[in-house]
Structure 1
Amino acid sequence: MRRFLGGTAAAVALAVAVVLVLAFGGMLRLLEGAELEANAHDRAVQMKLVSGALASSFDQAAKFALALAETTARRADVAAALAAEDREALQRLSQGPYDYLKRQAGIQIYGYHSKDIRYLLRMHKPESFGDDIAGFRPMVVAANRTRRAQTGVEIGIAGIGLRGIAVVNHGGEMAGTMEVGLDMRPILDLVKASTNADIAVIVVPSLGGIALDDKTPRFGDLNLAMSTDDELFASLLKKSRIRPTRDIEIGEERIDGRAFSMVTQPLVDFSGRLVGLTIALKDDPRAASRRTHTELWVVALCGGILAFVVFSVLFQVALARRRGV
């Protein structure tokens, strides 16, 4: 009889413990589902913000380059020197502004093109001049032929950058063009600092029609032009089949055991032609959530075991007292 009562107490205690564990589990499951949904929404919002910040930074930088080029192009002394193809005068007039802009604004390219599309003066490389650039500088060709300023991304034999090209007029006629260019790498660093996301610029030479230099890492058709973490994006491009599209895409990737949220967006040149894509990666916040969920499930299981022990003892005590009465 005593053994029967003891077994009954254990069974009741086990049933209570199981009910508590199931109740805890149901609550945790509902909590987990709600949290996953909230995390997915937050991830999409965060990656859209990264995408918007990058696009806005590129656009502002290109407009800044064009504003500097237009300001220079409107100088009468510069226009006269370009019309006369007077390199010495152009260099003398431009040295001060170029030195200042290079130091204060990170200007990478600052130069003048003659109306027959030859590079008359490179302030950033004055020893190189007179070369015909019509074959590999489509942005300069477009400005020359349309007589209109051009701004945006351009891929050349030296790489990819943001350019502003202004038309220089003198005496009612076009004297040539002037360009200001910015390196994209500092822009990536600034966006990373503000969003905590790593960013890469990927170029597809077959789309742009121009091959980059041999030093650029290649992964099939994709060239890793620049990034804030070359090793991370090299690992991504080795394992993933990423292709440029006309739409912004948000997804997830696992790279070397780490979970990331990822957004890809099209990279278009000054003419609107698709030439590649940009990729942003950010640590997936769900990794911390998964650890928390695991810990909560362990707590629920331990709570069930503790409940079983406590109720078993309580039933045994209650039965002992009842027998004493």
Structure 2
Amino acid sequence: MKFRHNAPAVLIITVVIAITIISVVSNRISSQMTASSEEGQFAMMSEIMKSKLVGAENNALSSAEMVAAMPDVKAAFAAKDRERLLAITQDIFRIQHDKYGFTQAQFHELPAVSFLRVHNPKKFGEDLSGYRQMVVDVNRNIAIRKGIEVTTSGVGIFGTLPMTDAAGVHTGSFEMALEFGPLLDALKAAYGFELAVFIEEKILHEVATSLKGDILNEQNRVGKYIKFYTTHSELLRALVSDADINISEDTHYVRDAVGVPYGVLLQPLYNYAHKQIGVVAISGNFGATRSAAGQALVWQSLLAIVVIIVLIGAILIVVRGLLLQPLLMLSERLAALAKGDCSQTIEDTDSLCEEMQQLADNYEQLRAQIQRSKSVGSEL
């Protein structure tokens, strides 16, 4: 075994292993930080969606309360004067529809019979108790309720309250509803999300008999659900598949679409009776997060390579330049001295390290002593 070959090799291998371990650990920490950041984004998406749904329910209820509190509305409904009630409310509803996205406004007789659909006045008189649990509950308990329900017109976010006449006698109920489209469009405009609402196809076929548009078709079918509304149809088709959508709790994942990584959050959608009727999909562009993580990995790798090269160079300079070469030079002179050659001197000792200078001085002393001994012997 030769020290001049094995020592640098051992040191270089040790450096490479150490830097590699540090780089792997650093990359793992960076990956964990990226994952933590994405988890935070998913949590934010979830909270935004939940708060917006609650806000929409409150808006629907406050608008319904405003209309129901009007004395003329109370009087017309108590008198069961459908034409007068429509004349009073249709302009109000049109303004609410145009400005805020309200799509339904309906008065109900007890216990849950449609009296007037302001949005569709030609259709009235049917019993809603079989599928409008919120209306039944409001009239049974004479209490305010809010939530999501499927109606003959589609899916809405409702605020429903009991109606009373001038004397305070319970006469029925009134509700107003926002549709999901404006809500999802507002979320896209505010946060850059792409969203979709999926409703169970069976429920739509059974209840939403007056649903407008070509919604119930094969192109919109995803598993047992129908894509009821979306802000970006093609993108959500790539991000949410039949295998993804069958959920009963919040689920999230990251998937590439058109070369961009998207974080996808799926949330169960519950109606007023807390029965799951669909799924809400919220997707956000995670390109910036993933790009930053990729750049960090590249820089970590480059830094590791540079450090390895620098340390290898330092090892070669220290081991070979300051240690091995002086040792080889001393070894050659000692070998010559052992053979009786006292002519080889070490002149430039200043370039040597302190320890090597001591060895060189010792060599010179030994060489001088042997040389003197030879001189004395020759004189004798």
On the 8 A contact 2:215/2:228 being kept in 1, the answer is: no
Question: Which amino acid in 1 is paired with 2:271?
Answer: D
Instruction: Note if 1:263 corresponds to 2:271.
Output: no
Q: Distance in 2 between matches of 1:158 and 1:91?
A: 18
When residues 172 and 320 of structure 1 are mapped into structure 2, their CA distance, relative to the original with a 3 A threshold, is closer
Instruction: Note if 1:175 corresponds to 2:175.
Output: no
On the 8 A contact 2:131/2:207 being kept in 1, the answer is: no
Q: Distance in 2 between matches of 1:221 and 1:169?
A: 41
- Tell me the equivalent position of 1:297: 301
Q: Percent identity?
A: 23
The one-character-per-residue Cα deviations of 1:127-179 (angstroms, maximum 9, x if unpaired) are x2324152554433433344333211011233211011222112454333222
Instruction: Note if 1:48 corresponds to 2:12.
Output: no
Q: Distance in 1 between matches of 2:123 and 2:203?
A: 29
- Tell me the equivalent position of 1:274: 276
Q: Distance in 2 between matches of 1:36 and 1:191?
A: 29
Aligned to 1:270, the other structure's residue is in SS state coil
On the 8 A contact 1:54/1:188 being kept in 2, the answer is: no
Question: Which amino acid in 2 is paired with 1:81?
Answer: A
Q: Distance in 2 between matches of 1:301 and 1:125?
A: 72
Unmatched runs of 5 consecutive residues or more in structure 1: none
Deviant stretches of 4+, over 6 Å: 11-14, 309-325
- Tell me the equivalent position of 1:230: 233
On the 8 A contact 2:223/2:245 being kept in 1, the answer is: no
- Tell me the equivalent position of 1:166: 161
On the 8 A contact 2:270/2:276 being kept in 1, the answer is: yes
Bigger mean CA offset, 149-158 vs 48-57:
149-158
Relative to the length of structure 2, the TM-score reads 0.69
Instruction: Note if 1:113 corresponds to 2:108.
Output: yes
Q: Distance in 2 between matches of 1:188 and 1:208?
A: 20
Question: Which amino acid in 2 is paired with 1:97?
Answer: I
Shift of 1:277: 2.6
State the superposition RMSD in angstroms: 3.6
Unmatched runs of 5 consecutive residues or more in structure 2: 330-345, 349-380
When residues 72 and 35 of structure 1 are mapped into structure 2, their CA distance, relative to the original with a 3 A threshold, is same
On the 8 A contact 1:83/1:175 being kept in 2, the answer is: yes
On the 8 A contact 1:117/1:144 being kept in 2, the answer is: yes
Q: Distance in 2 between matches of 1:88 and 1:211?
A: 27
Aligned to 1:241, the other structure's residue is in SS state helix
Relative to the length of structure 1, the TM-score reads 0.79
Question: Which amino acid in 1 is paired with 2:230?
Answer: S
User: Counterparts of 1:145-164 in structure 2 under 5 Å?
Assistant: 145-164=140-159
Instruction: Note if 1:33 corresponds to 2:28.
Output: yes
Q: Distance in 2 between matches of 1:161 and 1:12?
A: 77
Aligned to 1:240, the other structure's residue is in SS state helix
The one-character-per-residue Cα deviations of 1:96-149 (angstroms, maximum 9, x if unpaired) are 4324323333322223233464443333334x2324152554433433344333
Q: How many residues align?
A: 317
Aligned to 2:244, the other structure's residue is in SS state coil
On the 8 A contact 1:87/1:120 being kept in 2, the answer is: yes
Bigger mean CA offset, 31-40 vs 92-101:
92-101
1:288 pairs with one of 292, 300, 303: 292
Q: Distance in 1 between matches of 2:319 and 2:111?
A: 100
The one-character-per-residue Cα deviations of 1:1-28 (angstroms, maximum 9, x if unpaired) are xxxx9xx57x776666554443432222
When residues 298 and 198 of structure 1 are mapped into structure 2, their CA distance, relative to the original with a 3 A threshold, is same
2:89 pairs with one of 89, 94, 98: 94
Question: Which amino acid in 2 is paired with 1:261?
Answer: G
Question: Which amino acid in 2 is paired with 1:175?
Answer: T
1:143 pairs with one of 134, 138, 163: 138
